[in-house]
Structure 1
């Protein structure tokens, strides 16, 4: 139970971090380097990145909601749903955007999902 909660918390924190990078730091040199974008591309896609960051924030919010939900069984269901969403997004992103997404986002989500399912 504790391991699952820690893993879900890590995935939620990761998506809050992604939200922050995409919404507020998209054009900064460090974030451009991390995402492999040029200065001009980052400026042109700033609004799109912010929108994408917002979606990452929704994933984090759902995971946090699941962790804090007073009924443990329902909380696990919420966590399962949002972890599945993260995993599907990671798989899709690894095919369409950058292969490393499956490692950076997919593996933590899969580990957390397995832990939640084993706990539930």
Structure 2
């Protein structure tokens, strides 16, 4: 179960590295293809806002990666709980306020990882 937990935490981290890249570096090029429900004309004026949001996703990814590098199992699990909890809360909030599919793309994988970490410890 520990290996499954680490794999799931790693996948959530990789997802947030991708979101960082998308929002910080590809917002005006790849963003309109990813977020088709948004009008294309808003991507350029919201570039700085998206970059700021991407930075926060990078912090989430960094925390999850950090949790994988901690050798003490209790400390590693606690750090993973915190950052996965942040992802779950953000995913639920975004699903309620922006786009329902974000629950399945962001919150659900984090919930599964959180459950796997809990089961492993």
Question: Structure 1 length as normaliser, TM-score?
Answer: 0.96
Paired positions, count: 119
Give CA-to-partner distance per residue, 1:44-102, whole Å, 9 cap, x none: 10000000000000000000011101212100000011001000000000011111100
The whole-number CA distance in structure 2 between the counterparts of 1:32 and 1:39 is 6
Q: Which runs of 5+ in 2 are unaligned?
A: none
Which residue number in structure 2 is paired with residue 32 of structure 1?
32
Residue pair 2:31, 2:43 contacting (<8 A) in 1 also: no
In the other structure, the counterpart of 2:114 is 113
Tell me which stretches of 4 or more aligned residues in structure 1 moved more than 4 Å: none
Identify, as 1 or 2, the structure richer in helix.
1
TM-score by length of 2: 0.95
Runs of 5+ unmatched residues, structure 1:
none
**1:1-120 pair list within 5 angstroms:** 1-28=2-29, 30-36=30-36, 37-120=38-121
